[in-house]
Structure 1
């Protein structure tokens, strides 16, 4: 019996890597997308049994041309897709230039749209599928100094809600995980003082871990969530 196949976009990031390991532990074959960190992907492959490695696919998702090139090389037969990639922009909104805005839009929104459209025909034909988006607390709450990032994460959340309704009759579930403050390189710009101030504002008193986000994704991927679709699962220690 062949294994079900799950594609993880942004697999070389802290959360993406944790999700790859969780998916493999749960018995899936994992395919991974990455941009530049080929060394991390090679190391990851060594930890995955050969029959659970569904391939590595390099791709820059930040421009129309590069996104199309990636999709032209990406197989379309996946039972599940988890969007865990992306980057943020921290700074005053009026200081952003159009290039920074475009990159956020393509990586977080257009790549989500286009990749989902790429894999849907197979899922619809099979009458099953699972799409999971790693969004952000800022997609529901918004954040000063991260306004554009908040807006693309908000777009992800409403995409999940709309598509979840649209695909439910085809037995394809669509959900999101919205992490709060997580211990990843994305938050490496924070000073120790800033980090402590944020943790003091979190009811559970600490930042979350990539594994805790991966556990939430694993729940949404598994049978225990078979009646869950169009939902945003908040993993934030009570922070709001």
Structure 2
């Protein structure tokens, strides 16, 4: 038998990084619907995070918003200490925070490279390292990393972004093997094109062309991604481990 869910839903806490909008906000709301304690991390979008919190509280969830620069270990440690003082250490960690970058590799500066890699990869490492000891002590946990289809297939003019998400995928597979004996699963969700602000750099005709490339004929909606994340966090999903699952409408198989 697999490891049992360590607590009732109402005593289980999920931390979602970068949850002030888009996929992260949808994930927060999905967990709130079952009454879990929801921690909404944000960087600078204070009002947006509060709005997500209000939507979560409609479902009766206990909600906490918290800000931290995830590229800075000291700020993450402060975030961890605050959650501990509130009795809201995460049993489920969703590493969602990330940024995109579109452009030729020849135009990528070291500063841009460092920023994207720090935001998409280093932040995941630092957050996971900070919160996994608690899960290990509980002998149960879920770590779900939000990747991208481009981390699987690569994309022209998105070499930097693809490389960062490819790193997320490798990190996921390796850590799953490391933490499985402790009752912790580690998986990645690698969405295709999702209707969020990450596609704001595209013109309307470019979005239409993109939709035509996708067999499903449309972009994904954030709640379609959040449903998969929620499923991976369930107790019956414990044997799914070290996987990179890509909901992409049949675009990349």
TM exceeds 0.5?
A: yes
Partner residue, 2:195: 183
1:36 equivalent in alignment to 2:38: no
Distance 1:48 1:72 in 2: 24
Equivalent residues of 1:45, 1:53 under 8 A apart: no
1:119 equivalent in alignment to 2:127: no
Q: Which runs of 4 or more aligned residues in structure 1 lie more than 6 Å from their structure 2 counterparts after TM superposition?
A: none
Distance 1:46 1:54, change over 3 A: closer
2:180 to 168, 174, 180: 168
Superposition deviation, residue 154 in structure 1 = 0.2
Q: TM-score, normalised by structure 1?
A: 0.94
What root-mean-square deviation, in Å, do the aligned CA atoms of Structure 1 and Structure 2 show? 1.6
Partner residue, 1:201: 213
Aligned residue for 1:133, secondary structure, equals: strand
Superposition deviation, residue 67 in structure 1 = 4.3
Partner residue, 1:144: 156
- Alignment length (residue pairs): 237
1:60 equivalent in alignment to 2:69: yes
How big is each residue's C-alpha offset from its partner over 1:29-50, in whole Å with a ceiling of 9 and x where there is no partner? 1001101111111122222339
How big is each residue's C-alpha offset from its partner over 1:53-108, in whole Å with a ceiling of 9 and x where there is no partner? 342111223x4xx4432332323621010011111111111111111111111111
Q: TM-score, normalised by structure 2?
A: 0.89
Equivalent residues of 2:15, 2:92 under 8 A apart: yes
**Structure 2: 5+ residue runs without aligned partners?**
1-7
**Structure 1: 5+ residue runs without aligned partners?**
none
Partner residue, 2:3: none
Equivalent residues of 1:138, 1:153 under 8 A apart: yes
